[in-house]
Amino acid sequence: MNIVFLDRDGTVIIDPPDERVDKESKIKLFPDSIKALAYLAGHNFAVIFITNQAGIAEGRLNLDGFQRIHGKVLEMLAPSGVKVLETYVCPHSPNDGCDCHKPKPTLLLQAARDFKIDLAGSYMIGDRQSDVLAGVNAGMKTILVKTANVPVTSAEADYTAPNLLDAVKYVVNN
Ligand SMILES: [Mg+2]
């Protein structure tokens, strides 16, 4: 089985204007998220989520709250049939000086160790330059999806996709 690494907020679910998915009512899938994940599942790909959750450091939600909300996200994605192997979370703020906040590659490297994944042959997909750089820093191939709630470009991404479905098709066909 192949693995794709995905950012969550702004990539699979719509990033709210305040960029904090801190309650269940703020979970909104993109229109093509289920189709995209089903496409991956149909081509024998599983996914791992790598997500920065600065809202935890800010006290907007605690880790339990995050897990409850994330459980709801996984429930909403279940109809796609995709296997989510694991979700790795950075609970810190970008200013905390932690080791795990993307663009640092720490969580990607940890996932590779945990699941014995060849990172050089794997893709990281996300809506921000920090996702692309985390992938680059981990020695991976990267795709920027243009689904952030702000304009984002990346000179470092191997491919820029208009949406997640286009991104996963690129992964499967490359
Ligand atoms: Mg994002």
Tokens 């060849």, located at residue: 118
Q: What's residue 99's pLDDT?
A: 95
Residue 89 has pLDDT above 90, yes or no: yes
For ligand 1, a single-atom ion, the residues with CB < 5 A are 7, 9-10, 127
Q: How far is the CA of 149 from the centre of ligand 1 (A)?
A: 9
DSSP letter at 95 equals G
Given a contact cutoff of 8 angstroms between Cβ atoms, the answer to whether 174 and 121 are in contact is: no
- Give the DSSP per-residue string, 71-83: HHHHHHHGGG---
Q: How far is the CA of 14 from the centre of ligand 1 (A)?
A: 9
Q: What's residue 1's pLDDT?
A: 82
Q: How many CB atoms lie within 10 A of CB 144?
A: 27
The average pLDDT across 42-48 equals: 98
CATH number given to 2-173: 3.40.50.1000
Q: How many CB atoms lie within 10 A of CB 25?
A: 9
Respond yes or no on whether the N-terminal peptide bond of residue 94 is cis (omega within 30° of 0): no
Q: How far is the CA of 53 from the centre of ligand 1 (A)?
A: 10
The average pLDDT across 124-152 equals: 97
Given a contact cutoff of 8 angstroms between Cβ atoms, the answer to whether 44 and 86 are in contact is: no
pLDDT tens, residue by residue, 93-136: 999 999 999 999 999 999 999 999 999 999 999 999 999 999 99
Report the distance separating Cα 163 and Cα 52, nearest Å: 20
Name the residues annotated as catalytic.
7, 9
The token pair at 87 is 């979700």
Half-sphere exposure of 25 (CA within 13 A, CB side): 0
Instruction: Break the chain into its structural domains and give their ranges.
Output: 2-173
pTM above 0.95, yes or no: yes
Report the distance separating Cα 125 and Cα 131, nearest Å: 7
Given a contact cutoff of 8 angstroms between Cβ atoms, the answer to whether 81 and 38 are in contact is: yes
CB within 8 A of 39, min separation 6: which ones? 165, 168, 169, 172
Report the distance separating Cα 145 and Cα 147, nearest Å: 6
CB within 8 A of 100, min separation 6: which ones? 88, 90, 92, 106, 107
